[in-house]
Amino acid sequence: MTREVIEAILAGGFIENRKAHLTTAVALNQSRPRIPQTGIPAPLGATVLSAGVNFAVFTKYAETVQLLLFDGPEDAAPSHVIDLDPGVNRTNYYWHVFVPHLGPGQTYAWRVQGPTRSGDGHRFDGEKVLLDPYGLAVVGQDIYDRQAAREPGDNCAQALRSVVVDTSTYDWENDLPLPAPSGREVIYEMHVGAFTAHPSSGVAEHLRGTYAGLIEKIDYLKELGVTAIELMPIHHFDTQDAPAGLTNYWGYSSVAWFAPHAPFSSNRSAVGPVDEFRDMVKALHKAGIRVILDVVYNHTAEAGADGPVISWRGFENSAYYILKKDKSLFADYTGCGNTINANHSIVRRLIQDSLRHWVREMHVDGFRFDLGAALARGENGEPMANPPVLWAIESDPSLAGTRMIVEAWDTGGLNMVGSFTGERFDVWTGPYRDSVRRFLRGDKNTIETLMARIVGSPDLFTKPKDRPFVSVNFVTCHDGFTLRDLVSYDKKYNEANGELDRDGSNDNLSWNCGIEGPTDDPKIAALREKQVRNFLCLLMLSHGTPMLWMGDESGHTRRGNNNPWCQDNELNWFDWDLVNSNAGLVRFTRELIRFTGSVEILQDNRFWSATSSDHLGDISWHGTKPGKPDWTPDSHCLAFTLEQPKTGRNVHVMLNAGGQELEFELPAAPPDMNWVRVVDTSRPSPDDLPRRESSTALDTESAMVPSHSITVLQCQDKPVK
Residues assigned a catalytic role: 370, 407
Could you give the 3-state DSSP secondary structure of residue 440? helix
Q: Are strands 403-406 and 425-428 parallel, antiparallel or unpaired?
A: parallel
Please report the sign of the dihedral spanned by the C-alpha atoms of residue 133, residue 136, residue 140, residue 146: positive
- CB-based burial, 608-633: b 16+ in 10 Å, e otherwise: beebeeeeeebbbbbbbebeebeeee
- Alpha carbon dihedral 198, 203, 204, 209, in 10-degree steps, equals -50
Q: Are strands 45-49 and 52-58 parallel, antiparallel or unpaired?
A: antiparallel
Longest dimension (CA), the chain: 96
For 489, other C-beta atoms within 10 Å of its C-beta total 24
Tell me the C-alpha distance between 281 and 278, whole Å.
Answer: 5
User: Within 13 Å of residue 94, how many CA atoms lie on the same side as its CB?
Assistant: 17
- Nearest C-alpha neighbor of 443 from the set 386, 367, 348, 507: 507
Tell me the C-alpha distance between 524 and 533, whole Å.
Answer: 14
Please report the sign of the dihedral spanned by the C-alpha atoms of residue 352, residue 130, residue 112, residue 96: negative
CA distances from 454 to 185, 316, 476 (A): 16, 47, 16
Q: H or E stretch including 231?
A: strand 228-231
E strand intervals along 2-152: 21-22, 45-49, 52-58, 64-70, 80-84, 90-91, 94-100, 107-113, 138-139
Tell me the C-alpha distance between 414 and 671, whole Å.
Answer: 52
